[in-house]
A and B are shown apart, each in its own frame.
Chain A
Amino acid sequence: MMRGTRPFIAGLLALIAAGALAGGGNDAAVKSAEEIMRKSFVDATPEEWKARLAQDQTQAACSYYRNEPPPDMAVRIVSEAQASIRYPADGKLLGDWKNGATLAAISTGGHIGRIQPDPPDRPRGGNCYACHALAPQEVAAGTLGPSLTNYLKLRGNSRGTVKAVYDKIYNAQAQYPCSLMPRFGHNGWLTPEQVADLVAFLLDAASPVNREQ
Protein backbone atom coordinates (compact mmCIF):
# COMPACT_ATOMS: atom_id res chain seq x y z
CA MET A 1 0.00 0.00 0.00
CA MET A 2 1.46 3.32 -1.01
CA ARG A 3 1.40 6.90 0.10
CA GLY A 4 -1.35 8.06 2.36
CA THR A 5 -3.70 5.18 1.83
CA ARG A 6 -2.49 3.07 4.76
CA PRO A 7 -3.64 5.55 7.45
CA PHE A 8 -6.91 6.01 5.54
CA ILE A 9 -7.62 2.29 5.46
CA ALA A 10 -6.42 1.98 9.02
CA GLY A 11 -8.92 4.71 9.87
CA LEU A 12 -11.60 2.80 8.02
CA LEU A 13 -10.81 -0.45 9.79
CA ALA A 14 -10.90 1.32 13.13
CA LEU A 15 -14.35 2.67 12.32
CA ILE A 16 -15.50 -0.80 11.28
CA ALA A 17 -13.97 -2.40 14.32
CA ALA A 18 -15.94 0.01 16.43
CA GLY A 19 -19.01 -1.30 14.64
CA ALA A 20 -19.78 2.30 13.76
CA LEU A 21 -20.33 1.49 10.11
CA ALA A 22 -22.05 -1.53 8.65
CA GLY A 23 -21.67 -3.08 5.18
CA GLY A 24 -18.71 -2.79 2.85
CA GLY A 25 -16.02 -5.39 2.15
CA ASN A 26 -14.71 -7.77 4.80
CA ASP A 27 -11.43 -6.58 6.14
CA ALA A 28 -9.43 -9.81 6.03
CA ALA A 29 -10.27 -10.12 2.32
CA VAL A 30 -9.17 -6.54 1.66
CA LYS A 31 -5.83 -7.16 3.36
CA SER A 32 -5.25 -10.46 1.56
CA ALA A 33 -6.26 -8.83 -1.77
CA GLU A 34 -3.61 -6.11 -1.32
CA GLU A 35 -1.04 -8.79 -0.51
CA ILE A 36 -2.01 -10.64 -3.69
CA MET A 37 -1.83 -7.41 -5.74
CA ARG A 38 1.77 -6.84 -4.70
CA LYS A 39 2.77 -10.39 -5.61
CA SER A 40 0.87 -10.41 -8.93
CA PHE A 41 1.95 -7.06 -10.39
CA VAL A 42 5.68 -7.50 -9.79
CA ASP A 43 6.48 -6.31 -13.33
CA ALA A 44 4.90 -2.89 -12.72
CA THR A 45 7.50 -0.11 -12.34
CA PRO A 46 7.33 2.05 -9.18
CA GLU A 47 5.85 4.90 -11.26
CA GLU A 48 3.23 2.59 -12.79
CA TRP A 49 2.39 1.25 -9.32
CA LYS A 50 2.01 4.76 -7.92
CA ALA A 51 -0.05 6.09 -10.84
CA ARG A 52 -2.22 3.07 -11.59
CA LEU A 53 -2.39 0.57 -8.71
CA ALA A 54 -1.94 2.56 -5.52
CA GLN A 55 -5.32 3.89 -4.36
CA ASP A 56 -6.03 7.42 -3.26
CA GLN A 57 -8.43 7.90 -0.36
CA THR A 58 -11.52 8.08 -2.57
CA GLN A 59 -10.61 4.93 -4.54
CA ALA A 60 -9.84 3.05 -1.31
CA ALA A 61 -13.14 4.06 0.32
CA CYS A 62 -15.23 3.38 -2.80
CA SER A 63 -13.60 -0.04 -3.16
CA TYR A 64 -14.08 -0.88 0.49
CA TYR A 65 -17.74 0.21 0.49
CA ARG A 66 -18.40 -1.13 -3.00
CA ASN A 67 -19.40 2.35 -4.21
CA GLU A 68 -21.97 2.78 -1.41
CA PRO A 69 -20.11 4.77 1.24
CA PRO A 70 -21.86 5.54 4.56
CA PRO A 71 -23.06 9.19 4.92
CA ASP A 72 -20.07 10.73 6.73
CA MET A 73 -17.64 9.06 4.29
CA ALA A 74 -19.72 10.33 1.38
CA VAL A 75 -19.56 13.91 2.71
CA ARG A 76 -15.77 13.69 2.86
CA ILE A 77 -15.50 12.27 -0.68
CA VAL A 78 -17.75 14.96 -2.20
CA SER A 79 -16.09 17.88 -0.44
CA GLU A 80 -12.60 16.70 -1.38
CA ALA A 81 -13.74 16.18 -4.95
CA GLN A 82 -15.25 19.67 -5.17
CA ALA A 83 -12.07 21.18 -3.81
CA SER A 84 -10.01 19.37 -6.46
CA ILE A 85 -11.69 20.94 -9.50
CA ARG A 86 -9.48 23.15 -11.70
CA TYR A 87 -10.90 25.36 -14.44
CA PRO A 88 -9.39 26.40 -17.82
CA ALA A 89 -6.94 29.34 -17.65
CA ASP A 90 -9.23 31.52 -19.77
CA GLY A 91 -12.20 30.68 -17.55
CA LYS A 92 -14.21 29.51 -20.60
CA LEU A 93 -16.23 26.43 -19.57
CA LEU A 94 -17.91 26.09 -22.99
CA GLY A 95 -15.12 25.12 -25.40
CA ASP A 96 -15.09 23.83 -29.00
CA TRP A 97 -17.86 21.24 -29.53
CA LYS A 98 -16.13 19.81 -32.65
CA ASN A 99 -13.09 18.86 -30.57
CA GLY A 100 -15.51 17.64 -27.92
CA ALA A 101 -17.15 15.35 -30.49
CA THR A 102 -13.74 13.82 -31.30
CA LEU A 103 -12.85 13.38 -27.63
CA ALA A 104 -16.20 11.72 -26.89
CA ALA A 105 -15.49 9.02 -29.47
CA ILE A 106 -11.82 8.27 -28.71
CA SER A 107 -11.41 5.07 -26.70
CA THR A 108 -7.71 4.58 -27.28
CA GLY A 109 -4.63 5.82 -25.46
CA GLY A 110 -2.94 5.03 -22.17
CA HIS A 111 -2.86 1.22 -22.49
CA ILE A 112 0.38 -0.26 -21.07
CA GLY A 113 1.85 -3.72 -20.55
CA ARG A 114 3.75 -6.09 -22.85
CA ILE A 115 1.00 -7.70 -24.92
CA GLN A 116 -0.75 -4.68 -26.51
CA PRO A 117 0.52 -1.33 -25.21
CA ASP A 118 -0.36 1.99 -26.88
CA PRO A 119 2.43 4.22 -28.18
CA PRO A 120 2.82 6.83 -25.42
CA ASP A 121 1.69 9.66 -27.70
CA ARG A 122 -1.52 7.96 -28.78
CA PRO A 123 -4.40 10.42 -28.25
CA ARG A 124 -6.67 9.87 -25.24
CA GLY A 125 -10.36 10.63 -25.08
CA GLY A 126 -13.38 10.39 -22.87
CA ASN A 127 -14.78 7.27 -24.61
CA CYS A 128 -18.15 8.76 -23.59
CA TYR A 129 -20.08 6.55 -26.04
CA ALA A 130 -18.99 3.56 -23.96
CA CYS A 131 -21.62 4.49 -21.39
CA HIS A 132 -23.81 7.26 -22.87
CA ALA A 133 -25.97 7.82 -25.91
CA LEU A 134 -24.95 11.22 -27.32
CA ALA A 135 -25.24 12.09 -31.02
CA PRO A 136 -28.14 9.91 -32.21
CA GLN A 137 -26.26 8.87 -35.39
CA GLU A 138 -23.82 6.83 -33.28
CA VAL A 139 -25.55 3.46 -32.84
CA ALA A 140 -22.75 1.90 -30.80
CA ALA A 141 -23.58 3.75 -27.58
CA GLY A 142 -23.70 2.20 -24.11
CA THR A 143 -26.36 2.27 -21.44
CA LEU A 144 -24.30 2.22 -18.24
CA GLY A 145 -24.95 5.94 -17.97
CA PRO A 146 -28.11 7.89 -18.83
CA SER A 147 -28.69 9.03 -22.42
CA LEU A 148 -27.42 12.56 -23.00
CA THR A 149 -29.08 12.97 -26.40
CA ASN A 150 -30.71 16.44 -26.70
CA TYR A 151 -28.92 17.44 -23.50
CA LEU A 152 -29.33 21.17 -24.23
CA LYS A 153 -33.11 20.76 -24.39
CA LEU A 154 -33.09 18.78 -21.13
CA ARG A 155 -30.75 20.94 -19.04
CA GLY A 156 -30.56 24.33 -20.80
CA ASN A 157 -27.25 26.21 -20.74
CA SER A 158 -27.45 28.66 -17.86
CA ARG A 159 -24.14 29.56 -16.23
CA GLY A 160 -25.03 27.27 -13.32
CA THR A 161 -25.74 24.30 -15.62
CA VAL A 162 -22.56 24.83 -17.64
CA LYS A 163 -20.53 24.83 -14.42
CA ALA A 164 -22.35 21.76 -13.05
CA VAL A 165 -21.68 19.83 -16.28
CA TYR A 166 -18.01 20.95 -16.27
CA ASP A 167 -17.62 19.85 -12.65
CA LYS A 168 -19.31 16.51 -13.37
CA ILE A 169 -16.86 15.69 -16.20
CA TYR A 170 -13.82 17.05 -14.35
CA ASN A 171 -14.60 15.11 -11.18
CA ALA A 172 -17.91 13.22 -11.18
CA GLN A 173 -17.55 12.54 -7.46
CA ALA A 174 -17.99 16.23 -6.74
CA GLN A 175 -21.65 15.50 -7.31
CA TYR A 176 -22.07 11.79 -6.68
CA PRO A 177 -19.78 9.98 -4.21
CA CYS A 178 -18.19 6.83 -5.74
CA SER A 179 -19.80 7.61 -9.11
CA LEU A 180 -18.89 5.00 -11.76
CA MET A 181 -17.74 7.83 -14.00
CA PRO A 182 -13.97 8.33 -14.19
CA ARG A 183 -12.63 11.56 -12.66
CA PHE A 184 -11.28 12.66 -16.06
CA GLY A 185 -9.91 16.03 -15.00
CA HIS A 186 -8.85 15.16 -11.45
CA ASN A 187 -6.83 12.15 -12.66
CA GLY A 188 -5.18 14.22 -15.40
CA TRP A 189 -6.64 12.03 -18.16
CA LEU A 190 -8.15 15.10 -19.83
CA THR A 191 -7.03 18.74 -19.53
CA PRO A 192 -9.44 21.47 -18.29
CA GLU A 193 -9.63 22.76 -21.87
CA GLN A 194 -10.61 19.29 -23.15
CA VAL A 195 -13.27 19.05 -20.42
CA ALA A 196 -14.65 22.40 -21.63
CA ASP A 197 -14.76 21.05 -25.19
CA LEU A 198 -16.84 18.09 -23.96
CA VAL A 199 -19.18 20.51 -22.15
CA ALA A 200 -19.68 22.29 -25.50
CA PHE A 201 -20.30 18.98 -27.26
CA LEU A 202 -23.12 18.44 -24.75
CA LEU A 203 -24.61 21.93 -24.57
CA ASP A 204 -23.74 23.78 -27.83
CA ALA A 205 -26.86 24.10 -30.04
CA ALA A 206 -24.78 23.27 -33.13
CA SER A 207 -23.51 19.99 -31.67
CA PRO A 208 -24.98 16.80 -33.20
CA VAL A 209 -26.04 15.85 -29.64
CA ASN A 210 -28.64 18.60 -29.84
CA ARG A 211 -29.72 18.36 -33.49
CA GLU A 212 -32.57 16.09 -34.67
CA GLN A 213 -31.22 13.13 -36.68
Chain B
Amino acid sequence: MRRPRREFLKLVSLILAAELVPAGSALAEEWNKPAFAAKKLDDLYKALGANAPQQSDQVVLIGPEIAENGAVVPLELESKLPNTEMLAILIEKNPNPLAAVFTLPAGTLADIQTRVKMAETCNVYLLAKAGGKFYYAAKEIKVTLGGCGG
Protein backbone atom coordinates (compact mmCIF):
# COMPACT_ATOMS: atom_id res chain seq x y z
CA MET B 1 0.00 0.00 0.00
CA ARG B 2 1.53 3.33 -0.97
CA ARG B 3 3.16 4.99 2.08
CA PRO B 4 0.77 7.84 3.01
CA ARG B 5 2.24 11.08 1.74
CA ARG B 6 4.01 13.33 4.26
CA GLU B 7 1.50 16.11 3.62
CA PHE B 8 -1.44 13.94 4.41
CA LEU B 9 0.23 12.65 7.54
CA LYS B 10 0.12 16.24 8.75
CA LEU B 11 -3.64 16.28 8.21
CA VAL B 12 -4.11 13.09 10.18
CA SER B 13 -1.91 14.37 12.96
CA LEU B 14 -3.83 17.61 13.37
CA ILE B 15 -7.26 16.21 13.12
CA LEU B 16 -10.21 16.04 15.49
CA ALA B 17 -9.34 18.00 18.57
CA ALA B 18 -9.93 16.39 21.97
CA GLU B 19 -12.78 18.89 22.53
CA LEU B 20 -14.53 18.24 19.20
CA VAL B 21 -17.15 16.29 21.01
CA PRO B 22 -17.17 15.88 24.80
CA ALA B 23 -17.74 12.13 25.15
CA GLY B 24 -21.15 11.03 26.41
CA SER B 25 -22.85 14.40 25.86
CA ALA B 26 -26.54 13.70 25.64
CA LEU B 27 -27.23 16.52 23.22
CA ALA B 28 -26.77 15.85 19.54
CA GLU B 29 -23.77 18.09 19.25
CA GLU B 30 -23.57 21.08 16.94
CA TRP B 31 -22.59 20.01 13.39
CA ASN B 32 -18.92 20.94 12.99
CA LYS B 33 -19.30 22.93 9.77
CA PRO B 34 -15.68 24.12 9.50
CA ALA B 35 -14.35 20.58 9.75
CA PHE B 36 -16.77 19.20 7.13
CA ALA B 37 -16.41 22.20 4.88
CA ALA B 38 -12.63 22.05 4.90
CA LYS B 39 -11.30 21.50 1.42
CA LYS B 40 -7.67 22.14 2.08
CA LEU B 41 -5.73 20.42 4.79
CA ASP B 42 -4.74 23.51 6.75
CA ASP B 43 -8.41 24.66 6.93
CA LEU B 44 -9.12 21.29 8.46
CA TYR B 45 -6.26 21.81 10.89
CA LYS B 46 -7.72 25.10 12.09
CA ALA B 47 -11.21 23.63 12.34
CA LEU B 48 -10.04 20.64 14.35
CA GLY B 49 -6.59 20.95 15.87
CA ALA B 50 -5.30 17.62 17.28
CA ASN B 51 -1.98 16.14 18.36
CA ALA B 52 0.05 13.75 16.19
CA PRO B 53 -1.59 10.33 15.83
CA GLN B 54 0.44 7.17 15.50
CA GLN B 55 -0.23 4.48 12.94
CA SER B 56 -1.47 1.50 14.95
CA ASP B 57 -2.37 -2.04 14.03
CA GLN B 58 -4.95 -1.86 16.82
CA VAL B 59 -6.95 0.39 14.50
CA VAL B 60 -8.46 -1.68 11.69
CA LEU B 61 -10.07 -0.27 8.53
CA ILE B 62 -11.77 -3.03 6.51
CA GLY B 63 -12.81 -2.20 2.95
CA PRO B 64 -12.59 -3.59 -0.57
CA GLU B 65 -9.40 -3.11 -2.57
CA ILE B 66 -11.50 -2.29 -5.61
CA ALA B 67 -14.88 -0.58 -5.39
CA GLU B 68 -17.02 -1.21 -8.43
CA ASN B 69 -18.80 2.05 -7.81
CA GLY B 70 -17.54 5.10 -5.96
CA ALA B 71 -21.08 5.96 -4.89
CA VAL B 72 -21.26 3.15 -2.35
CA VAL B 73 -18.03 1.95 -0.71
CA PRO B 74 -18.63 -0.34 2.28
CA LEU B 75 -16.29 0.27 5.25
CA GLU B 76 -15.92 -1.44 8.59
CA LEU B 77 -14.28 0.74 11.29
CA GLU B 78 -12.70 -1.06 14.23
CA SER B 79 -10.45 -0.10 17.11
CA LYS B 80 -9.08 -2.65 19.54
CA LEU B 81 -7.62 0.15 21.70
CA PRO B 82 -9.27 0.25 25.16
CA ASN B 83 -11.70 3.17 25.77
CA THR B 84 -11.90 4.22 22.13
CA GLU B 85 -14.20 7.24 22.28
CA MET B 86 -14.16 8.51 18.70
CA LEU B 87 -13.76 7.17 15.17
CA ALA B 88 -13.54 9.33 12.04
CA ILE B 89 -13.35 8.57 8.33
CA LEU B 90 -11.15 10.72 6.06
CA ILE B 91 -11.17 10.25 2.30
CA GLU B 92 -8.03 11.87 0.96
CA LYS B 93 -9.15 12.98 -2.52
CA ASN B 94 -12.79 13.77 -1.80
CA PRO B 95 -13.64 17.48 -2.24
CA ASN B 96 -14.08 17.51 1.55
CA PRO B 97 -11.84 14.84 3.09
CA LEU B 98 -13.81 14.53 6.36
CA ALA B 99 -16.67 12.06 5.72
CA ALA B 100 -17.96 11.16 9.19
CA VAL B 101 -17.24 11.33 12.92
CA PHE B 102 -18.65 8.77 15.39
CA THR B 103 -18.61 9.45 19.15
CA LEU B 104 -18.68 6.32 21.30
CA PRO B 105 -19.69 6.65 24.98
CA ALA B 106 -18.44 4.01 27.41
CA GLY B 107 -20.06 0.64 26.72
CA THR B 108 -20.32 1.21 22.98
CA LEU B 109 -17.98 -1.00 21.00
CA ALA B 110 -15.56 0.56 18.50
CA ASP B 111 -16.92 -1.54 15.64
CA ILE B 112 -19.05 0.37 13.12
CA GLN B 113 -20.04 -0.33 9.51
CA THR B 114 -21.26 2.25 7.02
CA ARG B 115 -20.97 3.18 3.35
CA VAL B 116 -19.23 6.21 1.85
CA LYS B 117 -18.83 7.97 -1.47
CA MET B 118 -15.37 8.22 -2.99
CA ALA B 119 -14.63 10.72 -5.76
CA GLU B 120 -11.66 8.71 -7.07
CA THR B 121 -9.06 6.11 -6.16
CA CYS B 122 -7.22 7.28 -3.05
CA ASN B 123 -6.21 6.54 0.54
CA VAL B 124 -8.96 6.25 3.12
CA TYR B 125 -8.00 6.95 6.74
CA LEU B 126 -9.66 5.68 9.91
CA LEU B 127 -8.77 7.88 12.85
CA ALA B 128 -9.38 6.68 16.40
CA LYS B 129 -9.14 8.55 19.68
CA ALA B 130 -8.46 6.54 22.82
CA GLY B 131 -7.12 7.61 26.19
CA GLY B 132 -6.77 11.17 24.95
CA LYS B 133 -4.43 10.13 22.12
CA PHE B 134 -4.97 9.66 18.39
CA TYR B 135 -4.18 6.61 16.26
CA TYR B 136 -4.90 5.82 12.62
CA ALA B 137 -4.98 3.15 9.92
CA ALA B 138 -4.85 3.82 6.18
CA LYS B 139 -5.93 1.80 3.14
CA GLU B 140 -5.90 2.57 -0.56
CA ILE B 141 -9.21 1.81 -2.26
CA LYS B 142 -9.35 1.73 -6.06
CA VAL B 143 -12.51 3.17 -7.56
CA THR B 144 -13.10 1.75 -11.03
CA LEU B 145 -15.58 2.60 -13.74
CA GLY B 146 -17.90 -0.21 -12.78
CA GLY B 147 -20.47 -1.75 -14.99
CA CYS B 148 -20.17 -2.11 -18.72
CA GLY B 149 -19.55 1.59 -19.28
CA GLY B 150 -22.00 1.23 -22.16
Contact = CB atoms under 8 A, between A and B. Distances in A.
Nearest to B148: A130
Q: Looking at chain B's contact residues, is the secondary structure mostly helix, strand, loop, or mixed? A: loop
A127 interface: yes
Contacts of A139: 66, 142, 144
Interface in A82-140: 107, 127, 129-130, 139-140
Interface string A183-194: 000000000000
Interface size class of A (residues with CB under 8 A): under 10
B150 A140 contact: no
Interface in B98-142: 142
A185 to B, nearest CB: 20
Contacts of A107: 145, 149-150
A129 B144 CA distance: 12
Between B66, B142, B148, the greatest number of chain A beta carbons within 10 A of the residue's beta carbon is seen for B148
Contacts of A127: 149-150
A130 B150 contact: yes
B24 interface: no
Contacts of A140: 144-146, 149
Interface size class of B (residues with CB under 8 A): under 10
A130 B144 CA distance: 13
A130 B66 contact: no
Contacts of A142: 148
A127 B147 CA distance: 13
A107 B149 CA distance: 6
A140 B145 CA distance: 7
Contacts of A129: 149
Nearest to B121: A139
B149 A130 contact: yes
Nearest to A131: B148
Contacts of B145: 107, 140
Interface in A158-206: none
A107 B145 CA distance: 11
A139 B146 CA distance: 10
Nearest to B149: A107
A142 B148 CA distance: 8
B149 to A, nearest CB: 4
A127 B149 CA distance: 8
Interface in B78-92: none
Interface of B: 66, 142, 144-146, 148-150
* In the complex, the 6 A-B pairs of residues with the closest C-beta atoms, listed nearest first: A107-B149, A140-B144, A140-B145, A139-B144, A130-B149, A130-B148
17 contacts: A107-B145, A107-B149, A107-B150, A127-B149, A127-B150, A129-B149, A130-B148, A130-B149, A130-B150, A139-B66, A139-B142, A139-B144, A140-B144, A140-B145, A140-B146, A140-B149, A142-B148
Interface of A: 107, 127, 129-130, 139-140, 142
Given A139-B66, A139-B144, 11 more contacts: A107-B150, A127-B149, A127-B150, A129-B149, A130-B148, A130-B149, A130-B150, A140-B144, A140-B146, A140-B149, A142-B148
